[in-house]
Amino acid sequence: MIASFDQIGADGRRTTGRLYIQKPGRLRFEYDSPAVLQVIADGRSVAIRNRKTAKQDLYLISQTPLKFLLKRRVDLTRDTKVMEVRSNEREAMVRIVDKATFGGTSRIRLYFDPKTFALRKWIVNDSQGYRTQVKLANVDLKSKPSPQLFRINYERLDTGQQ
């Protein structure tokens, strides 16, 4: 999948960019300037890179809420606690609690198209109370992203050098 995204962070700032997903396990958030972050998952880990400082932090996919986007098949009843499910003619929503994320419990709302069940938006409230909302647009399910987009440099975690 390739899509445009519009993200509203915990500080209220809006960022945009491109999202690339290749299941299972591969993802890249490529933020538009002036944002300096990249988020890359390679099937095993998630790297959060700062292009300005050339530093990156590394997490296991299973420690992040991204695991719900990256698994081949998601079983919300096994992997989380489902708190609410509702649907109307505009959207279907599932509200879950995930206790297995890094730092504590995350509360996640997933919004889908009610006819196709294609993911449209998600909202994550992390263990510290920070809220991040991501809305997708221009979703392309036919194009295949380049494997190069999902490479993490494990050799130089402190500098981000390649």
pLDDT for 156: 55
pLDDT for 161: 38
Could you tell me which of 61, 35, 67, 36 has the C-alpha nearest to residue 47?
61
Domains of the chain plus CATH, in order, are: 2-150 (2.50.20.10)
pLDDT for 21: 93
pLDDT in tens, the chain (162 residues): 999 999 999 999 999 999 999 988 999 999 999 999 999 999 999 999 998 888 899 998 888 888 877 877 777 677 678 899 999 999 999 998 887 777 678 899 999 999 988 889 999 998 888 999 999 999 998 999 999 999 998 875 543 433
Q: By the 8 A CB rule, do 20 and 27 touch? A: yes
What is the phi/psi pair of residue 110, to 5°?
Answer: -110, 130
